[in-house]
Chains A and B, each alone.
Chain A
Amino acid sequence: MEKTNQKNRHVYWNPYFGGFLLGLLIIFTFYITGRGLGASGAVKSGVVTVVNKVSPEHTENNAYYKKFIDGENSPMNNWLVFEALGVIMGAFLSGAVTGRIKLKTQHSPKITAKRRLVFALIGGLLFGFGAQIARGCTSGAALSGISVLATAGFISMMAIFGTGYLVAYFFRKNWI
């Protein structure tokens, strides 16, 4: 059993099947909560919480943090934070049944692990920054937005993926 699992570690679902289930999940989420899925919002709650712990006056004086501070109620007491914790658990479950859980850095054999991590940090920084400007990331703005035909969702999707194709050439050494 263990052997077959190891052999098939990188066999993933058919993408159309995964997409179909994800579509049903989006419908269910809207049906229950009236809103879609998200991801970057949870990290934002984390940032607001930490900054508010370090200096409450600072968050009070910053127009952006202030939007997310609600008296005694912690910014972590938020739908997206619970959902994001669920995402980590769900990924862990899927990884556990397929034998994919392992502490490692995945990178192309042409680059070092260190280079991969430096670029991962820069990429995360840019993505976090951009997601705040656009009010949502690939999940919240693009995926959930398009599900209700939001104009912003289509713009975000085309901007993210269009830019991706434009700059792919410059990052090719990291990936292929």
Chain B
Amino acid sequence: MGPIIPNELIPAEWNFVFAILIGIAFGFIMEASGFSSSRKLVGVFYGYDFAVLKVFLTATIVAVIGLHYLDYLNWINMDQLFVQPTYLWAALVGGFIMGIGFLAGGFCPGTSLCAVGIGKIDGIVFTVGLFIGILIFSESFLWLKPLYENSFLGHITLDETLNVSPYLIIFIFTLIALLAFFISDIVRKRVKKVFY
């Protein structure tokens, strides 16, 4: 039963082989979907291109339904999958800063690596920016530590937070995504086209 490396069904040395193969697939899918282009990515914020919204929401819905289905079939144990800890204020403030960075820089870390792969200079410069930003954070860690470590709520999932069934959340999330797809197509027709 999965996950297979934590359960030692194959040797741990395979981990790095899978890391590279998974990375290649990840980079290929992102590039082929247009994520190496900053002007395509930010289109979601101006209404002229909704590729980010469609790829992101489709991927999360497929993943969340698929993982729960595999759990139901006993092929994977959901309890063994890593759930990142929730630090309420850190997630909010960090997300806020990332949102500004997204609009200023036109990439997020994964997509900037993608842009590096096809030779975009703006992608390379963004990645250098990431490096500097992480350096600044680490050097001022003492000062940021309260924000980073307070408001810890545990390794919780949304169904535990709201105290409802995970299936209900998946169902509602899917409905919201379908509605977003529908609305995005209407918006795109009304917004002036941008060529890039």
Contacts and interface: CB of A to CB of B under 8 A. Distances in A.
B91 A105 contact: no
Contacts, number: 513
Contacts of A120: 38, 104-107, 122-123, 125-126, 129
Given A83-B26, A88-B113, A133-B144, A23 B66 contact: yes
A168 B45 contact: yes
B39 A106 contact: yes
Contact of A155 (B38, B92, B127): B92
* Chain A interface helix/strand/loop/mixed: helix
B54 A16 contact: yes
A128 B131 contact: yes
Interface residues of A, number: 124
B175 interface: no
B33 interface: yes
A62 B44 CA distance: 39
A125 B23 contact: no
Interface in A87-105: 87-95, 98, 100-105
Interface in A1-48: 10, 12-13, 15-16, 18-40, 42-44, 46-48
A155 B88 contact: yes
B36 to A, nearest CB: 6
A91 to B, nearest CB: 3
B38 A156 contact: no
B187 interface: no
A167 B81 CA distance: 35
A100 B118 contact: yes
B171 interface: no
A74 interface: no
Interface string B181-194: 00000000000101
Given A87-B23, A133-B137, A159-B99, 10 more contacts: A13-B34, A19-B55, A47-B138, A106-B120, A108-B196, A119-B104, A120-B38, A125-B132, A126-B101, A149-B166
7 contacts: A39-B113, A82-B16, A88-B23, A108-B196, A130-B101, A147-B60, A155-B91
